[in-house]
Structure 1
Amino acid sequence: MTHNETLGIIDIGSNSIRLVIYEMDHDGAYRIIHEDKYAARLSNVVEQDGTILRHSLDKAITILRQFKATCEAYHTKLIRAAATAAIRNAGNALEIIRWLETETGLQVERVSGDQEAYYGFLGVTQSIDLADGFVVDIGGGSTEITVFRDRKRLHSISLPIGAVNSYARYGREDQWSEANATALCNEVIEALSEQEWIRQHPGLPLIGLGGTMRTLAKVEQKRTQYSLPVTHHYEISGEAMENIALSLPHLTSAQRKKVPGLAKDRADIIVPGVLILRTVFRMIQGDRYVVSGAGLRDGLLRDLMAEGQPVVPDALKDSIRNFIHFGPPIPENRLHRVHQDTITIYTALQGSTPDPADARILYASSMLHMAGKQINYFRYPQHSAYWIMNASIYGLSHRETILSAIAADYHPKKRTPQLLHKHRDILKDSDERHAHRLGSLLRVAEAISRSERIVAIQAAKENDSLFQMQFICAGEPLLELSSLEEAVKDLQEAWGVKLSHSIQQASKE
């Protein structure tokens, strides 16, 4: 048995020091197998002259030693440690790096502001299937802003303004005064005033990285009682974020700690974080906020894995490839065959190829409908639905995630109506009918693929109510025809057609 390699990424940030350990196979597929963090808040230990003293690094050094020991326990082939704003902006940055390397045995990269923006951009483009947008990464000691078009980075800037150092300058009182809040916002505006590109791409989404954005997403999800507790690719309207930015500064620290979704250790720095975010959103004239669960660490990994070709061309396909490589032993060609057949049947019934959203749903549900076997073979369709909804699959919106899960576990009389009802806050009014159509397609495609007897299919809609399928077979398809009996009933009811089928023997040439 070939053992996979492990790789450790350590992000020495201005607020937290984080460790992620990835398992990687020989084809480059990967998954997270360990994650840890410690709120070191290095931005708070910067002296008035801009330096950081050796004794102020004691906790950081202890944590880095522990993280290194964890990596060694997982037999990591490589540890990549990267230091960002608090260290790179310190007056004695090189001395700090030397201290850390001497005391821990790690090799520490001093990541520039432009590099940090680039790595954040890589993290976004491998996890969200958006062609255009602004990436905004609010850390403890800096904020990186990048605009991209057609998944290509156009401009980036790194501001030495973060949630921790801004709190130190403006937020020492229990409640934020109007003057201090305005002063912070004005500092951001002034820092961006000479960047003409900031205002040249109105109407794009602001894709937020980091703890500030994830925390704000959790607050909004709690407020709206959102039915899917996943922050990756969660969207927040400009109006909703404006309301949060107006309310949080006027609460006392004790009151903020009681806000649902707001972790107590972020009750102080969430205010400067949301003020910075809201100010940037206004300046870029964004249309909505989108949360990315992937960021700097994912970008560092991507940069290592695909140097020279770093941007993932298709976030969804890359994410699903990773699962298949580490998932249950299912023949991948069978999954691709199911997907191909769903597209064939959909196109014949609909009279056109799937639109981009339906194409993503059909691909995800086809490739992942057996994912639940990783948990338990019995009742695996239900496990598959749960896995799809909770695994933060890259490249899917939350609506697409729910519809993919419903299709993978299509059960029209019970479980499907339950999921439709539970997630009505995410789905469109038309999605009830749509879910039944997509789910019934997948059931038919699954039945056709029970064995390799049916080697190809042809499908055509003769009129509004008659749908014909021809199976090209290498032998008698007993298993397939048996499974089709129930699946055909669901498809006929969902699409309002009567299905007939014929069998043709495949040529032996």
Structure 2
Amino acid sequence: MNQKGTLGIIDIGSNSIRLVIYEMDAEGAYRIIHEDKYAARLSSVVEKDGRILRSSLDTAMTVLQQFKATCDAFRTSRIHAAATAAIRNAANADQIIGWLEEETGLEIECVSGDREAYYGFLGVIQSIGLNDGYVVDIGGGSTEITVFRNRERLHSISLPIGAVNSHARYGNEDRWTESHIESLRSEIVQALSGQEWISQYAGLPLIGLGGTMRTLAKMEQKRTQYSLPVTHHYEISAAAMDAMYESMPQLTSAQRKKIPGLAKDRADIIVPGIIILRTVFELIQGDRYVVSGAGLRDGILRDLLAPFYPLAPTALEDSVRNFLHFGPVMPTDRLKRVYEDSLTLYRALYGKEPSPEDDRILYVASMLHGAGKQINYFRYSQHSAYWIMNAGIYGLSHRETVLSALVADYHPKKRTNQLLQKHKDILLASDDHHAHHLGSIVQAAQVIHRAGRISSMTATQKNGSLQMNFTCTAEPLLELKGLEDAMKDLEDAWKITSAYSILPASKE
């Protein structure tokens, strides 16, 4: 995929069939422009002899035909369809693929278990800024587990145990009995016996993919009245997951359907899903659960792009690049200078290099402070803050996301304090002062590069006084006009005095 256009990816899963359409650019930037799904539950139509009958595929064929028509409407230059566990584990897998291709005109990849694990891993490392962890992808008909260290995949395994087929085997009664819970747990333990790597890397996060993990995150967010309704990179403690694990099997299906955050069509399969998740967590001796909103489809996209475009050094840089590419026209070189001078001010005021967390916050706020202009120029910084918090910036924790938004839309006497109060469940107690420190820095750096007349800046701080020196290509009237107010805010935030001098650019 090395041309500008649209790309459709269809995931024929064991529980749901999903379509994602991406807008692509010749430089490798991309964004989602359409998404759809249908819960076909192919795992539930497998016969006792392991086959799937053609008559049982009527719904799937209709959905695929409709998805293909949608792709045609969006004029996709390519459609990549991939079938996972329900089909690959069927006794007549090749025949099923043939039937589907014949009826839909699609070319369908029957994804092996190892390949599915690879796609999931690839989606994760390009969307979450974690170097080590276990990726656990619970689907309707299988569960893939991968361990990675330093962002390299070490081991993977695919188990023919998923939420839908486990429910069919053990959960046909309204409530789950202890014997059924233990039977499913024992099946998982037995399937992983002999895989020594499963328990070799204790203390790593479990990064969960798929509907089970996203649903559990939504339930926990509703229960705690979490202030940021974003599941990607949301963290769930072991204690919170244990509480859901203990309570869910005891409820009837009707009772589960009333739980906030739990979609009614998942009220039955959420129980085997959480049993699988919790059992794997115990075996790997994980330290916490992390939700990934990216998975197999994102991995397929990455794999298609790989021959033509190198992977970004970090998930964050790639995400910001995509955002800027499809956002309002902004001079990227000037945005980078805002970031660089934010670092200069940070070093002068703190007397040290920024932590990785602060570096990410300064980077996002500097690069995306004008993103809201795509909605409306007036009050654009407020739109930028909303966009940062809700657009799904990869590579940031939720705390970093909120702080980045606060810093991009810094108003010390207005919205900053309101947002700090609104998101106190996500932020640290010290972030009240921290947001003002970082916000005042980025605000000053923005003003310095308002019109491009200041070519370079140095800054030093001694005995509570900040001295800035600007080298200018011409008289910086617009910059100095805004700098007066920005420096008042910086002085208030840092409890310092400030001064600046202007130097002409060298004529050499």
Question: Into which bin does the TM-score normalised by the smaller protein fall?
Answer: over 0.9
* Inter-partner Cα distance in structure 1 for 2:399 and 2:49: 50
Q: Which residue is 1:191 aligned to?
A: 191
Answer whether contact 1:303 1:310 (CA < 8 A) is retained: no
Q: What is the rounded CA distance, in whole Å, between the counterparts of 1:491 and 1:399 in structure 2?
A: 22
Q: Which amino acid aligns with 2:157?
A: I
In structure 2, the partner of 1:483 is 482
Residues 82-97 of structure 1 mapped to structure 2, 5 A cutoff: 82-97=82-97
**Alignment map for 1:233-244 (pairs within 5 Å):** 233-244=233-244
SS at match of 2:136: strand
**How far 1:384 sits from its partner (Å)?**
0.3
Report the secondary structure of 1:500's partner residue: strand
Structure 1 residues 111, 194: CA separation in 2 closer, same or farther (over 3 Å shift)? Answer: same
The equivalent of 1:365 in structure 2 is 365
Q: Does 1:139 align with 2:142?
A: no
For residues 110-509 of structure 1, the aligned pairs below 5 Å read 110-307=110-307, 312-463=312-463, 465-509=464-508
Give, as a single letter, the amino acid of the residue that structure 1 aligns with 2:193: S
CA-CA distance at 1:80 after TM superposition: 0.3
- What's the CA shift for 1:503? 0.4
1:310 CA displacement: 7.1
Distance (Å, rounded) in 2 between the aligned partners of 1:310 and 1:489: 44
Please state how far the C-alpha of 1:392 moved relative to its aligned partner. Answer: 1.2
In 2, are the aligned partners of 1:344 and 1:459 still within 8 Å (CA)?
yes
Q: Is the 8 A contact 1:315 1:394 kept in 2?
A: yes
Output one character per residue of 1:227-281: Cα deviation in whole Å (capped at 9) or x when no partner. Answer: 1000000000011001100000000000000011100000000000000000000
Residue 406 of structure 1 deviates from its aligned partner by 0.2
Match of 2:58 in 1: 58
Alpha-carbon contact 2:336-2:367 (below 8 Å) kept: yes
Distance 1:306 1:272 in 2: 35
Query: Aligned partner of 1:508: which letter?
Result: K
Show structure 1 runs of 5+ residues with no match: none
Whether the aligned pair in 2 keeps the contact of 1:125 and 1:311 (CA below 8 Å) is no
Please give the per-residue CA displacement for 1:201-240, whole angstroms capped at 9, x wherever unaligned. 0000000000000000000001111010000000000110
SS of the aligned residue for 1:67 comes to helix
Q: Deviations over 1:397-422 (max 9, x none)?
A: 00000000000100001100000000
Aligned residues of 1:125 and 1:312 also touching (Cα < 8 A): no
CA contact (8 A) 1:14 1:84 kept: yes
Matched residues in 2 for 1:377 and 1:466: separation?
Answer: 35
User: Does structure 2 retain, via aligned residues, the 8 Å contact 1:207–1:292?
Assistant: yes
Describe the SS at the equivalent of 1:323.
helix
Instruction: For residues 142-173 of structure 1, give each alpha carbon's deviation from its aligned partner in whole angstroms, at most 9, with x where no partner exists.
Output: 00000000000000000000000000000000
The amino acid that maps onto 1:450 is R
Using the TM superposition, give the Cα deviation of residue 4 of structure 1 relative to its aligned residue in structure 2, in angstroms.
3.6
Counterpart residue identity of residue 77, structure 1: S
Distance 2:90 2:394 in 1: 36
Deviation at 1:193, TM superposition (A): 1.3
Partner deviation per Cα, 1:89-128 (whole Å, 9 max, x = no partner): 0000000000011110000000000000000000000100
CA distance in 1, matches of 2:38, 2:365: 37
- Secondary structure of the corresponding residue to residue 405 of structure 1: helix
Question: Match for residue 6 of structure 1?
Answer: 6
Q: State the Cα distance separating 1:307 from its structure 2 match.
A: 3.5
C-alpha deviations, 1:40-78, integer Å up to 9, x for none? Answer: 000000000000000100010011011001101111111
Number of aligned residue pairs: 506
Distance 2:271 2:446 in 1: 51
Q: CA deviation at 1:309?
A: 7.8
Q: Secondary structure of the equivalent of 1:76? A: coil
Cα distance, 1:462 vs. partner? 2.2
CA contact (8 A) 2:85 2:160 kept: yes
- Residues 122, 310 of structure 1: 8 Å contact kept: no
Q: Per the alignment, in what secondary structure is the counterpart of residue 77 of structure 2?
A: strand
The match for 2:100 is 100
- 3-state SS, counterpart of residue 458 of structure 1: strand
Q: Which amino acid aligns with 1:246?
A: E
How big is the shift at 1:312? 4.3
Share of identical aligned residues, percent? Answer: 71
Q: Root-mean-square deviation (CA), in Å? A: 1.0
Question: Is the partner of 1:147 in helix, strand or coil?
Answer: strand
* CA displacement 1:335-393 (0-9 Å, x = unmatched): 11111110111011111111100000000111110010111111000000000010111
Per-residue CA deviation, residues 437-490 of structure 1 (Å, 9 max, x unaligned), is 000001100100111110000001122x11100000011001000000110011
Q: Answer yes or no: is the 8 Å Cα contact 2:447–2:479 preserved in 1.
A: yes
Alignment check: 8 A CA contact 1:133 1:206 kept: yes
| Paired residue secondary structure (2:26) | coil
Structure 2 gap segments, 5+ residues each: none
Note closer, same or farther for the CA distance 1:177–1:21 as it changes in structure 2 (3 Å cut).
same
Cα separation, 2, equivalents of 1:311 and 1:181:
42
Q: Cα gap change, 1:386/1:289 in structure 2, threshold over 3 Å: closer, same or farther?
A: same
**CA distance in structure 2 between the aligned counterparts of 1:171 and 1:309, rounded to whole angstroms:** 46
Residue of structure 1 in register with 2:46 after alignment: 46
Question: Cα–Cα, structure 1 residues 323 and 265, in superposed 2: closer, same or farther, change >3 Å?
Answer: same
Name the SS of the counterpart of 2:129 in structure 1.
coil
TM-score norm. by structure 1 comes to: 0.98
What's the CA shift for 1:496? 1.6
| Aligned partner of residue 91 in structure 1, secondary structure | coil
